[in-house]
């Protein structure tokens, strides 16, 4: 995992590119380099060395024919298999997945994307045609932001990198309004900033002669339609093989690998699958965060899970007094709203891992969406917030002229089954896009790489395509996953209750951090988006006991820290 940046057009200058790379240097502490043809193209890379640690694998990476230059962020998990297919036609000078990816593009063009199992965002400059090809992985694990004004094209791994290049920092009013009104974090191509776009997950772009072409390359809906008519005769064995392979692929690294644990089913299953791998388990470390609050901490379940196993457990605490400084640091890095105190607590996992020299971590992200684990899947609700009894939004605090521009987001419904449409929404529009963005920034903040085996595309596609009673049976969610987990964990299967909250965010914001919250929200009183009196009133309601949801409070803190 690394950082990429580039400029195409008259602004392609070394000084400007260096500023961009400096803005995201935390993403690649091991090596930074650039390549510039002034007024034409400038490509830069911040490297976090994971596979092939040699200098030969540094980027920008040049093809041996001299026609192509690439910058690449991510991992191609099946790079060894692809290398084997290519080695009869290409001479490989490194052991890196970077070289494999570039040669795969030379061999198959954009069709190379279908052959890659991985997380990636990359850009390739064609020196002969003076054109740029860029692509993003199927679920958007790796970020790709860009700005294009018909004359200048900038791209980067983080939004702040584009600001460093001189892109004007202007809020996207529509995205912010939808965030306050319905909890949306924008459409897959949008950001919270005007003029700054995302390359959508599963999409590619081609830039040539100032003409930008966007194209969808990953056709998830079509693949699901085909899979719905295919059944393995022994499904639990087939899916177990998919799970084991997903874990196996994500242990490919030339640096130490660890994993994140909570007390739930996803972590239990991840642990069970790691147990089955043919690796030196004594060298693998586990990480979990706590807040010293028994109502929320899952440490008792985590400790039971790892006892009698060879993994070292690292406990990563977060205290209320750390939140003000950390929240601001993360807000500035994210440059967009993020998921509250759980995200801050999660960041301490990566900090601890980095301090211990563990560069790669696995976690269970993506399981709830593919296997239908959220409570609103049972209630057939259209909610996008887990575990709330009433609306978590407080639109009455918004200025009337601002609020009247709100238009409800309509999500696509490509399937006849409503459960599949909810899952599709969460995979490509709501839950997964925002979680991947949160996680990418907090992991890269400490120069660590996060891998999500439950988001292996072959696994997601097959599980997603199964009938409802495969996922929810007799009111039990993730039914088949539980069945598989029990096969490995047997009597020591220990699951914490499914809870939407893992930190005392409500209590800290209304009690321990009350003065800080008051000061942060006060910043918004001069913002034309808000009605000052209504904002004060709702904040007082929260402090006086109306705190079953703290989502709106965290929205306001995010806005104050990011916009100020």
pLDDT in tens, 176-213: 999 999 999 999 999 999 999 999 999 999 999 999 99
Q: For residue 140, give Cα distances in angstroms to 174, 203, 368, 563.
A: 22, 9, 17, 26
The torsion angles phi and psi of 468, rounded to 5 degrees, stand at -55, -45
117 & 253 share domain: no
Q: Identify the DSSP state of 455.
A: G
274 & 385 share domain: yes
Sign, CA torsion 377/383/387/388: negative
> Is residue 165 predicted with pLDDT exceeding 90?
yes
- Tally of domains within the chain: 3
pLDDT tens, residue by residue, 62-109: 999 999 999 999 999 999 999 999 999 999 999 999 999 999 999 999
Q: How far is CA 86 from the centre of its chain?
A: 30
Answer whether residue 400 is part of any domain.
no
Answer whether residue 106 is part of any domain.
yes
CA atoms within 13 A on the CB side of 461: 20
Answer whether residue 343 is part of any domain.
yes
Each residue of 132-167: b (16+ CB within 10 Å) or e?
A: bbbbbbbbbbbbbbbbbeeebbbbbbbbbbbbbbeb
Question: In terms of DSSP bridges, do strands 285-290 and 312-317 run parallel, antiparallel, or are they unpaired?
Answer: parallel
- Residue with the bigger pLDDT between 382 and 108: it is 108
**Helix axes 551-563 and 323-334, enclosed angle (nearest 10):** 70
For 170, the domain range is 3-218
* Number of H-type helices and E-type strands within the chain: 24, 19
151 & 240 share domain: no
36 & 135 share domain: yes
Secondary structure (3-state) at 228: coil
What is the Cα–Cα distance from 171 to 196, expressed in whole angstroms? 10
CB-CB neighbours of 129 under 10 Å: 11
419 & 543 share domain: no
The pLDDT value recorded for residue 494 is 46
Q: What is the pLDDT confidence band of residue 154, given thresholds at 50, 70 and 90?
A: very high
136 & 212 share domain: yes
Q: Are 513 and 320 in contact (CB under 8 A)?
A: yes
Q: Which two tokens stand for residue 102?
A: 């570039």
What is the Cα–Cα distance from 452 to 1, expressed in whole angstroms? 13
Secondary structure (3-state) at 119: strand
104 & 154 share domain: yes
Answer whether residue 340 is part of any domain.
yes
The pLDDT value recorded for residue 385 is 62
**Helix axes 220-227 and 457-465, enclosed angle (nearest 10):** 50
Arithmetic mean of pLDDT, 293-301: 91
> Is residue 303 predicted with pLDDT exceeding 80?
yes
pLDDT tens, residue by residue, 33-55: 999 999 999 999 999 999 999 99
Taking alpha carbons only, the member of 331, 315, 314, 562 closest to residue 445 is 331
Give start and end residues of each alpha helix (H) in 250-340: 265-275, 299-306, 323-334
Q: What is the pLDDT confidence band of residue 145, given thresholds at 50, 70 and 90?
A: very high
CA atoms within 13 A on the CB side of 429: 16
Q: Confirm whether pTM is higher than 0.75.
A: yes
Q: What is the pLDDT confidence band of residue 497, given thresholds at 50, 70 and 90?
A: low
> Is residue 138 predicted with pLDDT exceeding 90?
yes
283 & 148 share domain: no
Answer whether residue 404 is part of any domain.
no
126 & 245 share domain: no
362 & 334 share domain: yes
């Amino acid at each position: 995992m690394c950082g990429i940046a580039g400029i195409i057009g008259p602004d392609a200058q070394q000084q400007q590119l260096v500023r961009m790379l400096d803005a995201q240097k935390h993403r690649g502490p091991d090596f930074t380099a650039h390549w510039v043809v002034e007024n034409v193209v400038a490509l830069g890379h911040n490297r976090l060395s994971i596979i092939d640690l040699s200098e030969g694998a540094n980027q920008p990476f040049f093809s041996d024919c001299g026609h192509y230059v690439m910058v690449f962020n991510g991992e191609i998990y099946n790079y060894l298999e692809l290398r084997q297919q290519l080695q009869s036609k290409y001479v490989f000078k490194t052991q890196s997945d970077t070289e494999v990816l570039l040669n795969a593009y030379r061999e198959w063009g954009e069709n190379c994307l279908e052959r890659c199992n991985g997380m990636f965002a990359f850009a390739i400059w064609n020196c002969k045609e003076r054109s740029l090809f860029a692509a993003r992985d199927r679920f958007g694990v790796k970020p790709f932001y860009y700005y294009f004004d018909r004359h200048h094209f900038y791209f980067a791994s983080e939004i702040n990198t584009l600001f460093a290049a001189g892109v004007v920092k202007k809020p996207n009013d529509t995205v912010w309004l939808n965030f306050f009104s319905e909890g949306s974090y924008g459409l897959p191509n949008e950001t919270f900033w005007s003029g700054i776009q995302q390359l959508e997950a599963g999409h590619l772009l081609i830039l040539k002669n100032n003409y930008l072409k966007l194209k969808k390359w990953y056709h998830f809906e079509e693949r699901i339609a085909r899979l719905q008519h295919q059944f393995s005769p022994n499904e639990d064995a087939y899916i177990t093989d998919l799970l084991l392979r997903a874990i196996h692929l994500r242990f490919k690294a030339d640096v130490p690998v660890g994993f994140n644990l909570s007390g739930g089913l996803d972590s239990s299953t991840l642990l069970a699958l790691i147990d089955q791998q043919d690796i030196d388990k004594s060298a693998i470390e586990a990480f979990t965060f706590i807040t010293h609050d028994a109502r929320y901490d899952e440490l008792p379940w985590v400790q039971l899970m790892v006892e009698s196993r060879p993994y070292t457990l690292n406990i990563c605490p977060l205290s209320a007094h750390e939140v003000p400084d950390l929240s601001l640091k993360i807000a500035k890095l994210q440059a967009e709203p993020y998921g509250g105190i759980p995200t801050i607590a999660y960041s301490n996992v990566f900090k601890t891992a980095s301090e211990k020299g563990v560069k790669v971590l696995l976690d269970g992200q993506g399981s709830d969406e593919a296997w239908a684990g959220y409570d609103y899947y049972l209630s057939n609700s259209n909610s996008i917030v887990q575990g709330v009894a009433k609306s978590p939004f407080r639109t009455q605090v918004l200025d009337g002229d601002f609020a009247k521009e709100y238009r409800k987001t309509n999500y696509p419904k490509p399937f006849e089954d409503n459960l599949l449409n909810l899952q599709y929404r969460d995979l490509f529009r709501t839950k997964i896009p925002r979680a991947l963005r949160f996680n990418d920034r907090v992991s890269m903040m400490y120069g660590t790489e996060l891998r999500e085996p439950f988001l292996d595309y072959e696994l997601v596609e097959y599980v997603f395509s199964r009938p409802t009673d495969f996922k929810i049976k007799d009111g039990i969610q993730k039914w088949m996953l539980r069945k598989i987990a029990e096969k490995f964990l047997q009597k020591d299967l220990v699951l914490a209750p499914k809870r939407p909250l893992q930190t005392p965010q409500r209590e800290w914001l209304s009690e321990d951090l009350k003065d800080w919250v008051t000061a942060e929200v006060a910043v918004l009183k001069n913002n034309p988006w808000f009605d000052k009196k209504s904002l004060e009133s709702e904040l007082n309601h929260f402090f006086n006991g109306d705190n079953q949801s703290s989502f709106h409070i965290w929205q306001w803190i995010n806005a104050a820290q990011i916009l100020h």
